[in-house]
């Protein structure tokens, strides 16, 4: 059993500590799925270079990418729908910048939405309210009473509570896009800027979701919730048929998080704080992933991304890793337990669980559709 009152055992980061790390970024050899070539460069760096190397090194490619984005937005405006695009905002840095770009730079008519599952921080809610007023956009807020209970169920059974939020977010976007006939869904995530955990630790496809809920007496309540429908296939078809597309803004544009933070503080008086400070459980999530990834936290994965993209030196990344102390946030834990109704003992038992028993072959099909509907245009 993991004792959540203790720090994760820190790996010796010194050169002579016996830990092999990528010679380019800082990813260690014990991270799930990693491999190294003969020169000591990790597989994550090689995959990153294959997808983003040319784009990062070529001003011409970046200009073409931005031009392509403008053509996508113009095509959406020509449809003369009530809204040009749908954007979920959480009060975090990425979604806030997406809203700024859509309204102030590209002049889109945007419908915004937020979801409430009991985990949005007070600071996140306040920022959402400010953003809606500053940019004068219509905003819909959805709260599902079933969500906190699902967080508890998934944590108890799988040791991961993120799946209900992921699926709910996808379903809300799909539902609103269908209801208002919106041709674009805007997201602020990208493989160039976000370090996602290994897929086996964070599945959220509908079939996995249903497997976890087998044996639970929630059929009637589930039918009245945002988890009722499976929009993955229908949105994949809508993407293939050209009726709707998902646009990952960081795929097309330079995404300097330090500059974004300065922009909002200087122009709008908005401070974001720590990354993902809009979620009170983010620190808990990071701690759990670090525990399951041999001590490598999502922050360290993010540092590696910043090194690959030229935003941070390897030396600075190593310095930050040495300074980081991945201890369990007591305040966040107490708030999470209050939302989910779990006891501390139940939570500790759950940390040893894994999503693996609930994952089936159909998850591979889901990943294919996910790649289709999130694929960068052009």
Domains plus CATH for the chain?
64-317+326-374 (3.40.50.620)
Calculate what percentage of the chain has a pLDDT beyond 70: 87
Convert the chain into a string of H (helix), E (strand) and C (coil). Answer: CCCCCCCCCCCCCCHHHCCCECCCCCCECCCCCCCECCCCCEHHHHHHHHHHHHHHHCHHHHHHHHHHHHHHHHHHHHCCCCCCEEEECCCCHHHHHHHHHHHHHCCCCEEEEEEECCCECHHHHHHHHHHHHHHCCCEEEEECCCHHHHHHHHHHHHCCCCHHHHHHHHHHHHHHHHHCCCCEEEECCCCCCCCCCCHHHCCCCHHHHHHHHCCCCCHHHHCCCCCCCCCHHHHHHHHHCCCCEEEEHHHCCCCCHHHHHHHHHHHHCCCCCCCCCCECCHHHHHHHHHHHCCCCCHHHHHHHHHHHCCCCCHHHHHHHHHHCCCCCCHHHHHHHHHHHCCCHHHHHHHCCCCCHHHCCCHHHHHHHHHHHHHCCCC
Q: Give yes or no for a contact between 292 and 202, defined as CB atoms under 8 angstroms apart.
A: no
CB 280 within 8 A of CB 220: no
The residue among 292 and 273 whose pLDDT is bigger is 292
| Residue of 294 and 346 predicted with greater confidence | 346
Helix axes 206-213, 147-158, angle to 10 degrees: 80
Q: What are the tens digits of pLDDT across the range 32-80?
A: 999 999 999 999 999 999 999 999 999 999 999 999 999 999 999 999 9
pLDDT at residue number 7: 40
28 token code pair: 């260690």
Residue partners of 71: CB distance under 8 A and separation at least 6: none
CB 120 within 8 Å of CB 277: no
Residues 6+ apart with CB under 8 A from 53: none
Mean pLDDT lowest for which of 126-135, 139-148, 323-332? 323-332
Pick the residue with more confidence: 65 or 368?
65
Q: Does the pLDDT of residue 220 top 90, yes or no?
A: no
Q: Provide the b/e sequence for 265-281 (b: ≥16 CB within 10 Å).
A: eeeeebebeeebbbbbb
Q: Among the listed ranges 133-142, 177-186, 207-216, which one has the minimum average pLDDT value?
A: 207-216
pTM of the model: 0.88
Residue of higher predicted confidence among 83 and 119: 83
Query: What span, in angstroms and rounded, lies between the C-alpha atoms of 255 and 65?
Result: 13
pLDDT at 170 over 90: no
């Amino acid at each position: 059993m993991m004792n959540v009152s203790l720090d994760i055992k820190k790996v010796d980061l010194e050169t002579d500590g016996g830990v092999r790390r990528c010679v380019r970024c800082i990813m260690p050899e014990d991270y799930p799925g990693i491999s190294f070539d003969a020169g000591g460069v990790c597989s994550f760096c090689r995959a990153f270079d294959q997808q983003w190397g040319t784009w990062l090194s070529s001003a011409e490619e970046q200009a073409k990418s931005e031009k392509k984005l403008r053509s996508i937005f113009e095509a959406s405006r020509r449809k003369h729908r009530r809204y040009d695009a749908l954007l979920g905002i959480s009060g975090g840095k990425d979604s806030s910048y997406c809203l700024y770009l859509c309204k102030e730079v590209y002049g889109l008519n945007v419908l915004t939405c937020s979801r409430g599952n009991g985990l949005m921080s007070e600071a996140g809610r306040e920022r959402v309210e400010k953003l809606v007023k500053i940019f004068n956009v219509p905003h819909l807020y959805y709260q599902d009473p079933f969500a906190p209970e699902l967080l508890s169920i998934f944590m108890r059974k799988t040791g991961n509570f993120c799946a209900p939020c992921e699926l709910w977010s996808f379903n809300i976007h799909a539902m609103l896009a269908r209801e208002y006939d919106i041709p674009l869904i805007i997201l602020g995530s990208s493989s160039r800027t976000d370090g996602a955990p290994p897929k086996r630790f964070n599945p959220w496809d509908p079939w996995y979701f249903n497997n976890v809920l087998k044996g639970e007496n929630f059929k009637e309540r589930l039918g009245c919730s945002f988890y009722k429908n499976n929009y993955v296939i229908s949105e994949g078809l809508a993407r293939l048929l050209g009726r709707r597309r998902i646009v990952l803004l960081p795929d097309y544009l330079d995404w300097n998080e330090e500059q974004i933070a300065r922009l909002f503080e200087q122009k709008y008086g908005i401070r974001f704080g720590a990354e993902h400070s809009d979620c009170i459980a983010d620190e808990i999530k990071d701690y759990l992933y670090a525990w399951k990834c041999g001590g490598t936290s999502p922050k360290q994965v993010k540092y590696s991304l910043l090194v690959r993209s030229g935003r941070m030196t390897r030396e600075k990344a190593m310095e930050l890793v040495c300074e980081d102390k991945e201890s369990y946030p007591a305040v966040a834990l107490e708030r999470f337990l209050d939302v989910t109704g779990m006891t501390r003992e139940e939570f500790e038992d759950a940390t040893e669980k894994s999503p693996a028993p609930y994952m089936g072959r159909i998850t591979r099909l889901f990943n294919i559709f996910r790649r289709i509907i999130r694929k960068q245009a052009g």
